[in-house]
A = this chain, B = another copy of it.
Amino acid sequence: MTQTSFLAVIRLLSAQALLEQKFSQELGSVHGLSLNDSLLMMHLEQAPLLRLSRVDLAKRLCVSPSTVTRMTLPLEKLGMLGREADVRDARLAYVTLTDTGRKVIGAARQTLERKSKEVFKDRWGADEIEALADLLGRLTASQPNDLV
């Protein structure tokens, strides 16, 4: 007798591995972004001033602060991200989304949306997709600032 919660967790982990495999390749070859790069930029997209601190981004992405530093470096050199200091707190180094970055993540989002539709193309009703999104939203709701 297997617990339902355990079953749900295992399937969620397996499903993520499947989706990452499906999305990663095209996202990288077409837009030059990794999946985590895209999530980072989408968080910036919906941030108040198109900017977030690095620790804030780390919490939202569930990665270490050092990873954020390393992730933003190449994107900054490509002109997709910028750096901004805080007037009050000299420790903060905000990551900002540039106009170039907005265009790139906009295009990448279209790719993600198209491939997302493909995932549910067969044997899925609109109400079921919505139910899944809703239930997953309750999991991520415990985290700082849900995405989308």
Residues of A in contact with B (beta carbons under 8 Å apart): 2-21, 23, 35, 39, 42, 61-63, 109, 112-113, 116-117, 119-120, 123-124, 126, 128-133, 135-140, 142-143, 146-148
Chain B residues in 8 Å Cβ range of A5? 113, 116-117, 119-120, 129, 133
11 A-B contact pairs sorted by A residue (CB < 8 Å) = A5-B129, A6-B116, A6-B117, A9-B19, A9-B116, A11-B146, A14-B143, A15-B140, A124-B138, A128-B135, A132-B135
User: CA–CA, A42 to B9, complex, Å?
Assistant: 14
A18's partner among B6, B62, B120 (CB-CB below 8 A) is B62
A130's partner among B4, B130, B146 (CB-CB below 8 A) is B4
In the complex, the chain B residue whose C-beta lies closest to that of A43 is: B14
- Is B136 a contact partner of A17 (Cβ separation < 8 A)? no
Chain B residues in 8 Å Cβ range of A12? 12, 15-16, 19, 132, 136
- Is A11 a contact partner of B143 (Cβ separation < 8 A)? no
Known: A13-B19, A13-B20, A19-B13. A6 touches B112 (CB 8 A): yes
